[in-house]
Amino acid sequence: MQQESPGKHEGDSTLPAPPTGDCGRGGQPDNSLRASFETRKRNPASYWLTRFVILRLLGLVYFVAFLVAAQQIIPLIGQNGLLPAGTFLHRVEAHAGSSLSAFLQLPGLFWFNATDRFMVAMAWLGVGASLIVLCGYANAILLGLLWVLYLSFVHVGQDWYSYGWEIQLLETGFLSIFLCPLVEGGPFPRRPPSTALLWLFRWLAFRIMFGAGLIKIRGDACWRDLTCLYYHYETQPIPNPLSWWLHWRPHGFHQLGLLWNHFIELLVPWFAFWPRPGRHVAGVLLVSFQLILILSGNLSFLNWLTIVPMLACFDDSLLSRVLPRRLATCAARAGEAAQPSRVQEGFVAALVLVIALLSLNPVANMLSSNQIMNTSFNPLHLVNTYGAFGSVGRERREIVFEGTEDAIITERTQWKEYEFKCKPGDPMRRPCIVSPYHHRLDWQIWFAAMSVPEEYPWTVHFVWKLLHNDTGTLGLIANNPFPDKPPRHIRAELFRYEFAPPGNPDGGWWKRTPLGLWLPPLSVENPVLRRFLAAQGWLPAGDMNHR
């Protein structure tokens, strides 16, 4: 529910009255308005096109995020999922002492109904609502619905929703609620976008980039001695084919790239608050940097989402040059018909005050020598602190799950590997291209490989699911080596993976070295396994069903 800024700009009195066509419903814009729009470029900035592109890109990000939920949420946090949401909510309530206290700590819709059917319905509702925004219709009610839905998933998603871009989407989505009129939802509504709100988007972009730059300088010596990129492309969560090519560039190339990274993250964000020429240049540099990151790896929808607040660096004087002529003319028409609202101005003023107060903790965190990244300071995630790759791994470790049909394990036992959707497995398989989509299980396996099973107990539950050929769990991975009947044993081996060098005679993308067992062979009859699952609430008490 927001937007506001002067509906007319200096020099507007010389412009012709707007024609009667409706750009939002496909009417043909009057090309004579193009000239009037060019005149306005010399006057105070307007943001009709800025709002248009921000909301369309946000709609795309929401669409991907809810599509991921719709396709993966049941095997991940469903009633029989790897980390059931119902079990999690009961534990939160027991810890909080009451259902009200628990709700206030983690507000969301799934306190009222956490069934599989309801969660899937909410995910598909989010898909549908985000498509409406993507297609050009957005108002405060619709964007508020998307925000509440995603907040609900984040608060029950546990490990699967523990990434920084989840709270970043919530903060971005919350600001966007105020970018629109309450009810009117066309691409160019009568209410103008608020200039103050665009400053809040720039403030978000600044915190994302500057926080990322600070955490690097403080976190890992390789960012300071310009060697992190020697390893990053190989050890990042989900590399793509270009990651392989980049990894094998000369060290001088990587050092220049890292200097550019520091320049973009530590210096350029300050220019987002400068007058028009400075912030336009800053916007181009910031957005182009995110595009490079999109090309160089599979970081889910993080970089796509990060572009959203960066678009606030641009105003219509620049966007009218790069967007289709029809959009520019429709924006000019909207400016002529603008109807500012004092009520909306009041909402924006209140929002600015709230954001200012909530920014105190993130700013203190950025200034602290003990800076932490990707953290919220309030249960609604309204103003957060961000950062990425505060440390970079020097080697890549991967967990490979294997199964066998043998009832007794011997040296002659034949093991068959499970392949994941995107994470490295078969050394001959080409790295995938999946961004902005997000395979949540693949990412969590990447984290688990840097630790031990005790820190990631859901991996044991994952083994149990594989031992039963669980359909939902198998839908999260790329293959099932045992289509006829479940395996008798599952184990997990740990490997070191390295990009195969150019000209590799084997023709593979990776070479790997075994490091030992990560999980020993387990079967459904294993009493230790069954007691562990029962203690976690993942196995019904007294369940003694054996094969």
* CA distance to 104, 158, 162, 167, per residue, from 96 (Å): 10, 17, 20, 22
Give the model's pLDDT for residue 344: 80
Q: Can you read off the two tokens belonging to residue 161?
A: 């929703």
The three-state secondary structure class of 352 is helix
Give the model's pLDDT for residue 383: 97
Q: What is the DSSP string of 409-467?
A: --TT---EE--BSSSS-STTSPPP--TTS--HHHHHHHHHTTS-GGG-THHHHHHHHHH
Of 106, 107, 114, nearest to 73 by C-alpha is 114
Which H or E run includes 189?
none
Whole-number Å distance between alpha carbons of 358 and 365: 12
Give the model's pLDDT for residue 543: 60
Q: Residue 183: exposed, middle, or buried by beta-carbon count in 10 A (0-12, 13-18, 19+)?
A: exposed
Query: Angle at which helices 195-219 and 276-296 pack, to 10 degrees?
Result: 50
Contacts of 190 (CB under 8 A, 6+ apart): 181, 184, 334, 337, 338, 339
Give the model's pLDDT for residue 38: 53
pTM (two decimals):
0.91
Give the model's pLDDT for residue 445: 97
Q: What is the DSSP letter of 14?
A: G
pLDDT by residue for the chain (547 residues), tens only, comes to 433 333 333 333 333 333 334 565 444 445 544 444 455 555 567 999 999 999 999 999 999 999 999 999 999 999 999 999 999 999 999 999 999 999 999 999 999 999 999 999 999 999 999 999 999 999 999 999 999 999 999 999 999 999 999 999 999 999 999 999 999 989 999 889 999 999 999 999 999 999 999 999 999 999 999 999 999 999 999 999 999 999 999 999 999 999 999 999 999 999 999 999 999 999 999 999 999 999 999 999 999 999 999 999 999 999 999 999 999 999 888 888 787 778 888 889 999 999 999 999 999 999 999 999 999 999 999 999 999 899 999 999 999 999 999 999 999 999 999 999 999 999 999 999 999 999 999 999 999 999 999 999 999 999 999 999 999 999 999 999 999 999 999 999 999 999 999 988 888 999 999 999 999 999 999 999 999 999 999 986 556 454 4
Of 210, 308, 302, 305, nearest to 262 by C-alpha is 210
